[in-house]
Amino acid sequence: MALAGDFRSALRLLPEAWREARFKLHFRDPETAARAAGFLGVLNPGRRGDTVRFAVARGGGGPSPDVGASALRRLDQARIHGELELENTTEAAAAKPPAAASSLVAQWDEHVGALPPDWSDVFAEISFRSSDDLERAALLLSPLNPSRFGARPGFRFRVARNFGYGAAPELVRRCLERVGDAHIRAEVRVLHALSDTKPVFTQGPVWYVGGKPV
């Protein structure tokens, strides 16, 4: 088979994700190899004795497979015969997925980790990328008794660490996990926090937001 045909056949056997393929051409003597290297100049070949090496690449970084096939056709037309051998291949690195937005649980853990060790009460907010998610999210967050605010798609809720009015931190974490599992894109943040509160005959502290107690 002609060298160009051998080359095409070798390419068809390469891994699907191949990026670069290096080949060797063996000739009957160094003189023939030197002559062949002249025809393959576009491939930047390297010659040693009766062997010529060259490489082709996909996606840039070297001569393309079409350039390689064209150069080898010139050898065939000049009736320069040799034996083609695939030396090695390099596969393209797997594309890294885009960095995923931090999960709601990770966001919550980060916010809680930044609070004082004796924190006792939190007023928090979860906001969504789309208002289409509100109905589904309201159901998933219902144990937190979430409340709407303003025109932006989102809810606010209270958290009580030890006692008083608000959801337990563990329950908050579980509800946020459910929202994440539903592939609802959202962000959570702590709006206000208090430490070491000790309610007496009350359900806990009261925050006033927009003139209204929450």
Give the Cα separation of 3 and 136 in Å (integer). 63
What per-residue confidence (pLDDT) applies to 8?
93
> Cβ of 162: how many Cβ atoms within 10 Å?
13
Task: Please tell me the distance from the alpha carbon of residue 22 to that of residue 179, in angstroms, as a whole number.
Answer: 50
Name all domains of the chain by residue range, CATH numbers in brackets: 3-91 (3.30.70), 104-208 (3.30.70)
Q: What is the pTM of this model?
A: 0.49
pLDDT digits (tens, 9 = 90+) for 171-195: 999 999 999 999 999 999 999 888 8
85-104 tens-digit pLDDT: 999 998 876 544 443 346 88
CA-based radius of gyration for the chain: 34
pLDDT in tens, 104-152: 899 999 999 898 888 989 999 999 988 999 999 999 999 999 999 888 8
Determine the Cα angle at 24 with ends 19 and 28, to 5°.
Answer: 165
Exposed e or buried b for every residue in 68-90, given b needs 16+ CB within 10 A? bbebbbbbbeeebebebeeeebe
Backbone torsions φ then ψ of 135, nearest 5 degrees: -65, -45
> Tell me: the pLDDT tens digits for 48-92?
999 999 999 987 778 999 999 999 999 999 999 999 999 999 887
